Structure 1
């Protein structure tokens, strides 16, 4: 029998080689369920990254292990892979003028904007895509834009058409943006082939096809037809292994990052991997369960972590304190205890509110009062942080050089419970002026900063909600991993 290297071993064989146990430990492998439909085998790449081969459909990791898998093999199922996005990716600026002139460039943007009927209520994401689009136009490329909008159920839905986006893009760019009737098909192909240098076409919503989210290879091929180059500028969708974010890279090369994606990765990865210290994180939101991965990752990297929002009450309940009618994840109390223990072991300062604004019902016009964190009465619920907590946060952040914020401090959608969130935004704006690097990590915290008219006062506002969180957790972003290495 010919001798085989570790590169040729299948998962089911790992338990038969005693040295493999040591190999897996020393290489620090962690696994992630990616969206490829079926995985035939894995191999090693650069000593740490798994290269995978998809075959047919819908197979889970458990099928790789024999029925009597040993404890080591079974434990693999509980781990996440956080391997390959640390390598630097090629960006648009790495290409020469000759690489762009006259080329048909498929650009994946995040144009998933809020609409009121046919009216765009916030064009922030459209504006964020402009530098990449304008650069391509200036270099004589033929620009074909793709995006999703909303969550259509499959098939055309007029309310999710990108037509209003094409109109707004044209206004912002000062030139015509042609709206394609579809994202694939003969009509689209003919439009693309008829383009002149500097022309722009916006393809219709890719999610009108379920094949988009299925990362269907044939749909990816159709999207890629007649394209010379692929640019991913959709950080907000980079955590999705979809046809337009990952699948098309199997058919188009070069595949590079746009300016927005590059900027997002630069800020967030630097904050995670090489922050100026002291490094603080402010984590809010309603549920511990939605931020557990982020918290565990940040404990490994931060000097200070400030906890706010509804998740506070799960921590307080885990300590045995009364939280009245406040939101609590009863089945996640053990996670709260685990987070506190991890922070203590790593000597990370974990800060909780000193006082809270409580209400007798979940209503903007409820009766309210400020109480100590340990004195929430039955029938009352915490909906915002109190003034003493705001002062404490300002003091704790005063000497920090890098600050990451994800999640509001209270129910900021209600005016009477928004003060804590807006005060934190003002504190960060002030610290930015004093030289701190402030990163607003997507989601509701971005909405709060924009509502407070302070977005331009921060170092970086992330356009990605889920993508920001997954990058902070250290997970692979499939849409980034699929791009060419620099």
Structure 2
């Protein structure tokens, strides 16, 4: 695929600058979710096994080029050491990293203080990138979630050192290549969420690459309105109906089938347990809101899943946060998980709401790959080049 992995690198006795994403949630001074830390463990262990000395580079929060004590990476040290079962030493300054103490040299892993404390990081300042590169012999990027940023630690350093992808970055790239680059067809995409306007690039790219596209959530209401159907008080971007028609025309020209709700679940109020009814998509009352896809729509989505060999999923089919408007998302996700578990479907999903929805449905474990990369995952799906990936193949 045009980039090296850890398997391609000689790390014995080498200092390995390793960009990771450990921008984890913290509550009461402790890490409350270690998922991102757990996911970098294989990369660090492999570097150590190959005789390398990892120096981790990471950001935490948005200090915007200034030292903000509340955004120190010191808070992640206990969780990082527990996950690795190794000693980790925080290096507070670049000067300290360039002149390591005996105590620091004795540690298994080094962690450079929040890289965004330096204005040269987000500016991708060439001199700052060169100085960073001087701290290592090899550069390993394991932060796909930051790969859409052209920062010094994600892009600039790669031009100064032999570079490779870490295990998490490798897994993300291989999963996305399998889903969109050279997929096993037919390919089905499920795209949901509130607004068409936030996913224009995504929809425009997908209709030329997939065989069928399911549109759900508030976005589906805009497409229904574009077909002249009434959507009552539903979330709907009426000013985007022309754009929705353009996307449908583009899909038709590309041979991509667009699947919209055939029936809908409507309610007069947006709250858990609200009184609701299932109606044909064309029959939404003027005083009601569409809050989920109905059972006939779910059956259509499941049939499309049965016909597919590859699935890309981004966004829920309804207001999944509130019962009973999570039914369509849960049912389709459960079916996709079953097909994946049986080896009949390659399923790749990503995006914040998507991960939450699939976890809620109990389906995430059986998907082939779940990306936690957020913005980078979306930009890849939109067909945009990612600076952090491009630099590895430069």
Count of aligned residue pairs for this structure pair: 393
Tell me by how many angstroms 1:193 deviates: 8.1
Larger Rg: 1
Q: Is 1:346 matched up with 2:254?
A: yes
1:305 has 2:213 as partner: yes
**Residues 224, 260 of structure 2: 8 Å contact kept:** no
Q: Distance in 2 between matches of 1:447 and 1:151?
A: 24
What is the aligned counterpart of 1:212 among 110, 121, 145? 121
Structure 2 residue matching 1:285: 3-state secondary structure = coil
**Residue 66 of structure 2 corresponds to residue 173 of structure 1:** no
Deviation at 1:194, TM superposition (A): 6.4
CA drift of 1:452 comes to 3.1
1:101-116 counterparts in 2 under 5 A? 101-116=12-27
Pairing 1:201–2:114 present: no
2:17–2:135 contact (8 Å) kept in structure 1: no
**1:275 and 2:183 are equivalent in the alignment:** yes
> Post-superposition shift, 1:225?
3.0
In the alignment, which residue of structure 2 is the partner of 1:477?
386
Do residues 383 (structure 1) and 291 (structure 2) align?
A: yes
Superposition map of 1:44-443 within 5 A: 88-95=2-9, 99-181=10-92, 184-191=93-100, 195-196=104-105, 199-251=108-160, 253-435=161-343, 436-443=345-352
Distance 1:372 1:208, change over 3 A: farther
Corresponding residue number in structure 1 for 2:365 = 456
Find the residue that maps to 2:312 and give its secondary structure.
strand
Q: Distance in 2 between matches of 1:192 and 1:90?
A: 32
Distance change in 2, residues 1:377/1:151 (3 Å): farther
Q: Which runs of 5+ in 2 are unaligned?
A: none
TM-score using structure 2 length:
0.93
Change in 2 beyond 3 A, CA 1:457/1:321? same
Distance 1:132 1:239 in 2: 20
Offset at 1:297? 1.5
- Which SS does the other structure have where 2:153 is aligned? coil
TM-fit CA distance, 1:108: 0.5
C-alpha separation in 2, matches of 1:107 and 1:224: 11
Deviation at 1:112, TM superposition (A): 1.8
Q: Relative to structure 1, is the Cα distance of residues 216 and 367 closer, same or farther in structure 2, using a 3 angstrom cutoff?
A: farther
SS in 2 for 1:202: strand
Taking a change above 3 Å as real, the CA distance of residues 440 and 330 of structure 1, as seen in their structure-2 partners, is same
Counterpart Cα distance in 2 of 1:208 and 1:364: 43
Partner SS, residue 305 of structure 1: strand
Deviation at 1:153, TM superposition (A): 4.2
The structural deviation recorded for 1:328 is 1.7
| Deviation of the 1:310 alpha carbon | 1.1
- Give the Å deviation of 1:454: 2.8
Unmatched tracts of structure 1, length 5 or more:
1-86
Post-superposition offset of 1:195 = 4.7
Q: Are the aligned partners of 2:264 and 2:281 in contact in 1 as well (CA < 8 Å)?
A: yes
Deviation at 1:291, TM superposition (A): 1.6
| Displacement after TM superposition at 1:349 (Å) | 1.4
**Aligned 8 A contact 1:269 1:471 in 2:** no
2-structure distance, mates of 1:189, 1:174? 26
CA distance in 2, matches of 1:400, 1:164: 45
Q: Distance in 2 between matches of 1:223 and 1:166?
A: 21
Q: TM-score, normalised by structure 1?
A: 0.76
What is the rounded CA distance, in whole Å, between the counterparts of 1:140 and 1:194 in structure 2? 19
Distance 1:446 1:293 in 2: 21
1:364 to 1:207, Cα distance in 2 relative to 1, 3 A: farther
Give the Cα–Cα distance (whole angstroms) in 2 for the partners of residues 104 and 292 of structure 1.
43
The aligned counterpart of 1:68 is none
* Secondary structure, aligned partner of 2:40: helix
- How much has 1:240 moved relative to structure 2? 0.9
